[in-house]
A and B are shown apart, each in its own frame.
Chain A
Amino acid sequence: MPLALFFLAWFVAPFLLLVIISLFDTAEFRALGLRQYGKFFTDGYSLGVLWDTLELGFLVTAVCLPLAYALGLVYVAGGPHRRTLILFLIMMPMLTSAVVRTFAWIVILGREGIVNNTMLALGLWGTPVRLLYTWGGLVLALAQIQLPLMALPVINSLLKLDRNIVDAAEALGASRLRRLCTVIVPLTLPGALAGALLVFAASTTAFITQTLVGGGRIVLMPLNIYQQAVGVQDWPFAAALSVVFTVSILVITYVLNAAAQRRMRGIDAA
């Protein structure tokens, strides 16, 4: 298969080379060793950056989850017109360039942006509040940008859900909230997890949004790698950062995936 060869040469091999380069002790490629990893794990700053990046991924995913479920519930309850409308609302931002969407958030959160101007006009805020270049602004912007990745799998698993089970719960007297919590969400969890993985991965690596909405003060892994590789020209350390970052994402993805599969088997067995 030609694609397999292509991926071997230009995807698998580059990652192997990345690992090899991370094993050089100095930027001059003289001696081999684990110095770069030692540097990473003993340096509070680098560890903090990794932790912040993963935390950002979790926060964005947590914000997306309820939004995606609410959208999905309104979608499946509606007729064909409402469904088409919601699907287009989801696809439109998904297909529009992320730089453009990030730019929109700069306008929305800016000093003279919509939020500040509205709050000032309503007299709720006395002076403009800084929203851009804050952690909260970054989480909200990323949640909007990545929401489609979560909404589509959630809608799909809601569509596949057997209505009879929900009806049975209703006939047995379960309230709507109870039906959602004990029937609908557990049965659609694999879809939500699939979406969560995509949102998590996409928001941790979203260089453009992180640097423009987060600003220079919020340094996350992608900017850290870029600065080490292009700014400082320390390739072995940049490679080590990339390896640690990739492995962290892989481990989290693997754990979530395994959880989803165990869940699926549980449902099949029941």
Chain B
Amino acid sequence: MRLRPSDLVYEGAVWAVAGFAMLLLLAPTVVVLITSFTGGQTLKFPPPTWSVRWYVELAQSSELIGAGWTSLKLATFATLACGLLGTAAALGIARSRSTTARLLDSLFMSPMVLPAMAFGLALLMVFSVLSVRLSLWTLAIGHVVICTPFVIRMVSAAVQQLNPALADCSFSLGASRWYTLRRITLPLIGRGVFAGCFVAFLASFDHVPVSLFLSDARTEVLPIKLWQILEASLDVRVAAVSGVIVVVTLVGMLLAERLFGLAANVQESR
């Protein structure tokens, strides 16, 4: 292959931009981890001295730990509901070419594009008109809508790769629909279901706009608590919380990759 000077410039430019993009992608994670071990009172970077004092403060901060538990409970409820409803729906619509199925697919995916702030306000109005008291359950309803698209995407991608002949074989050998679903279909799309649930869990744990309208003092969630702290003062405790979140997410990602090939599932679903 003959390399022209212009090709060299081109290669250099592509690598420079890609290198910048990779640096951008990596930077926040590294910055958060380093900052969380600062010994100082401010978010000075690089930190003037090193210490674990902010992690000690975090361990003693009951409000932050309480908010963390609420978020974990909420994300668990939301993920279970999304996993069940989303998998059933994806099985129904992924293969179908009918107009109804296409419309339903667009409907289920639309929370990814429509402004979540508008949806949060709308849901608050519904509960207010129905005079339903806000609770962890009303919050979970909002989160299920927000997180369902992730499950639908990944399960649909898994269903589309499934060989339809397998289910037909099972039927022709006399297996019932339910038995085929349990013994043939679900084991084959299981990785997609787990990957979808994993991403849905993280999305719920992280979600703010809907919680902003639907959570009150009793159901304070972690991201909103962090937002309030950061709005009021640039408190270094947030760095410690962020450090914990980064490490847990990384470990979760590596486990998910080992257990059900997270990366392949995420990629195929796009």
Binary contact track A64-80/B, C-beta < 8 Å → 1, others 0: 00111011011000000
| 179-215 of chain A: CB within 8 A of chain B | 180, 191, 194, 197-198, 201, 204-205, 207-208, 211-212
CB closest chain-A residue, reference B257? A88
Contact of A87 with B by CB under 8 A: yes
Asked whether any CB of chain B lies closer than 8 Å to the CB of A107, the reply is yes
Report the Cα distance A176→B22, complex, angstroms.
Answer: 22
Chain B interface residue count: which class?
Answer: 35 or more
Whether B267 lies near A87 (C-beta < 8 A) is yes
- B4 at the A/B interface (Cβ < 8 Å)? yes
Identify the B interface with A (CB < 8 A).
4, 6-7, 10-11, 14-15, 17-18, 20-22, 24-29, 31-32, 35, 42-46, 85-86, 88-89, 92, 104, 107-108, 110-119, 121-126, 129, 141-142, 144-145, 148, 199, 202, 205-206, 208-209, 212-213, 223, 226-227, 230-231, 234, 238-239, 242, 245-246, 249-250, 252-253, 262-263, 266-267, 270
**Among A11, A18, A73, A253, which residue has the most Cβ atoms of chain B within 10 A?**
A11
Tell me if B115 and A205 are in contact (CB < 8 A).
Answer: yes
Residues of B within 8 A of A221 (CB): 115, 117
* CB-based nearest A residue for B3: A176
Which of A7, A90, A98: most chain B CB closer than 10 A?
A7
Evaluate contact between A110 and B45: CB separation under 8 angstroms: yes
Q: Are the CB atoms of A246 and B88 closer together than 8 Å?
A: no
Q: Are B117 and A100 in contact (CB under 8 A)?
A: no
Question: Closest CB of chain B to A28's CB: distance in Å?
Answer: 15
| A interface bracket (residues with beta carbon within 8 Å of B) | 35 or more
Contact check: which of A14, A70, A108, A117 meets B125 at CB < 8 Å?
A: A14
User: Are A156 and B113 neighbours in the complex by a CB distance under 8 Å?
Assistant: no
CB neighbours of B226 from chain A (8 A) = 99, 103
Instruction: Known pairs A97-B202, A103-B230; list 19 more (Cβ under 8 Å).
Output: A6-B145, A7-B107, A10-B141, A74-B14, A86-B22, A91-B262, A101-B28, A102-B230, A104-B29, A151-B21, A176-B7, A222-B115, A222-B117, A229-B124, A229-B213, A239-B125, A243-B118, A249-B114, A249-B115
Residue among A86, A89, A204, A235 having the largest count of chain B Cβ atoms under 10 Å: A89
Q: List 12 A-B contacts (CB under 8 A).
A: A3-B86, A11-B110, A70-B15, A71-B22, A95-B199, A103-B226, A110-B234, A113-B43, A113-B45, A144-B24, A208-B208, A242-B121
